[in-house]
Amino acid sequence: MSNSAFLNWTHARHGRISGTDPASLTPRLGEAANLLGLELAAGRLPFIDMPYADGMTARLQELEPLLRRFEHMVVLGIGGSALGARALQKAFFPAQDRPAHTGPWLWIADNVDADSLEAWLQSLPAEKTVVVVISKSGGTIETIGQYFLIRDWLRTARGDAWTNHVIAVTDERSGFLREEADTHGLASMPVPDHLGGRYSVLSAVGLIPAAFTGMDWQALVRGAKTVGAPLCSSPDAATLGAHPAWHLAAWNHALMQAGYSQLIFFSYMPLWAHFGFWFAQLWAESLGKEGKGSMPLPAVGVTDQHSTQQMFLDGPRDKACLFLTCSSLPQGRTFPGDMPPKWDFLRGRRFGDLLEAEALGTRMALHKTGTPLVEIGMAQPSEEQAGRLMALLEITTLLTGWLLDINPLDQPAVELGKRLANARLGAPGYDTETADLGAFLAAQGSRQEF
C-alpha cells in the first residue's frame, strides 16, 4: 500500500475560476521563496523546520514514566492550546468515547465552563490525576483562572505533593507560568519561540496529551517533517513552486479573488472530523485580516449531508471545498443475507461501503453545482499521515497569507476582546477599554422577551 497522501486537482478549477492559470502567480513565487528563506534562517517558522524536535523528543521521553503513573490527565488550554490535542484525541484515542473503556482518561478544559470544571473537581481522584496547564505567554486569563482553582484543589487533596501533579507548558524564560514552574519545581516543557498557538499542535502543546493516551507521537513529528523537509533544504523558487502547499495557496488566492468567501473542510474520515475544527482556527485566525480571507466551514460526512449540505449545494455560490478522504478505513461488518428485497443491493457489501459511496456522491454533487473542490486523500488513518496533513495545512495557511499581503502569524483583532474582558474584570492598565465598556453599556436600547 502506498504511503503517500495526495491532492486530487481534477475538479479544483471549476465555477468562476475555470481556466485560471496557476502560472499567473509566478511573479509572486520568487518573492515568496525569498521570504521563506529569510524567515526560516531567522528561526521564525519553527512549525516548518521544527528545530525544537530533538530536544522536545528527549524531554518528552523523560516525562513518559511520570505520565504513566496517572489515570487521568486534565489539559488546561484554549484555542490553539486545545483544538489540536482534541483532534488527535478523537482520531487516535476513540476508546474513551466508547463502552467499557477503563482508562486512561483525557479531559480538555478549553472553555469557561463552570459546570464541567466543578464535575471534574468533584469526581476525579486527585492522587491519580495530572494537570497540564498550557499558555505560551502565561497570561491567558481563561487558562490561568482554571489553574488557580485546580491548584487549590490539588493543594487541599495532596498537600505539598501537589507540585508532582502539574506540568507547565509555557515560555522557556518569562511569564507567570514560567515563574510558577521555577518557584515550585513543577515539571515543564517549553513552547518554542515564534510558535503561535494555532501552529503548535506538534510541539509539547499537543504531544504531551498524545503521549499520555499512548499515541505514536513520534510518527506525528516524522510525518510533519517529511512535508516541510524540501522547503528547509532548498527554500528556492523551484522547490516552492513544486510543493503542494504552494499549489493549495495559489488555488485559495484565486478563489478569494473570484469572490469565493467560504472554504468548506469536509471530512469523510469520521474519526478525523475534529481536524476540521482545528483547521478552522488555523485558517480564520491567520487570514481574517484587513477585510481579507475566507471563512472556514468544518463539515462532517455523512452527517452534514443531512444538514448544512443543503446550503452548500443550493445556497449562495460563494463556497469552495477541501474534501478529506481515506481509501483504507476499516470497512466494518458485512450486511446480512436476509434483508427485505428493497435492500437487496446491499447484500454482501460492507458497512464502510456506504461511506465511500456517499463521499463520491457528495463530491459529484458539489461539482455539479459549480463548487471548486480539492480532494485530500490520506493513505492510511495513521499518526504519520496526520502529521503530514497538519504540516501541509499550516504551510498552506502561511503562504496564502503572504499572497494576500497580510501577516498570517499574528491575531490583532483577537487581542481586543481579551483587553475588554480584562477591563470588565477590573484588571489595572486598561483605562481606554474601561471607558469604551462604559459607553457600550450605557447605550440606550430595547429588549424583546420571548
Report pLDDT digits (tens) over 16-71: 998 877 677 888 999 999 999 999 999 999 999 999 999 999 999 999 999 999 99
**Average pLDDT rounded to a whole number, residues 256-262:** 97
- 210-250 pLDDT, tens per residue? 999 999 999 999 999 999 999 999 999 999 999 999 999 99
Q: Which of 39, 180, 285, 384 is catalytic?
A: 285
Q: Please state, as a whole number, how many other Cβ atoms lie within 10 Å of the Cβ of residue 277.
A: 18
Q: Give residue limits of the domains in the chain.
A: 6-39+221-403, 46-215
Q: 11 catalytic, yes or no?
A: no
- 6-39+221-403: CATH topology: Rossmann fold (3.40.50)
Mean pLDDT of the chain: 95
Rounded Cα distance, 144 and 74, in Å? 14
Q: How far is CA 266 from CA 8, 53, 86, 312, 313, in A?
A: 14, 31, 18, 11, 13
- 46-215: CATH topology: Rossmann fold (3.40.50)
Q: What end-to-end distance do the CA atoms of the chain give, in Å?
A: 59
Q: 367 catalytic, yes or no?
A: no
Question: What's the pLDDT score for residue 145?
Answer: 96
- 273-319 pLDDT, tens per residue? 999 999 999 999 999 999 999 999 999 999 999 999 999 999 999 99
pLDDT band for position 2 (50/70/90)? low
Residue 1 scores a pLDDT above 60: no
Residue 440 scores a pLDDT above 80: yes
Q: Which of 306, 342, 368, 449 is catalytic?
A: 306
Q: Which comes out higher in pLDDT, residue 421 or 397?
A: 397
Question: What's the pLDDT score for residue 5?
Answer: 96
Q: Which of 128, 194, 367, 418 is catalytic?
A: 418
**Average pLDDT rounded to a whole number, residues 199-203:** 98
Percentage of the chain lying above the pLDDT 70 cut = 99
Residue 74 scores a pLDDT above 60: yes
Rounded Cα distance, 8 and 240, in Å? 19
pLDDT band for position 427 (50/70/90)? confident
pTM: 0.96
Name residues whose C-beta falls within 8 Å of residue 262's C-beta, 6 or more positions apart in sequence. 294, 295, 296, 297, 318, 319, 320
Question: What's the pLDDT score for residue 419?
Answer: 87
Q: 418 catalytic, yes or no?
A: yes
Same fold? 6-39+221-403, 46-215 = yes
Question: What's the pLDDT score for residue 230?
Answer: 98
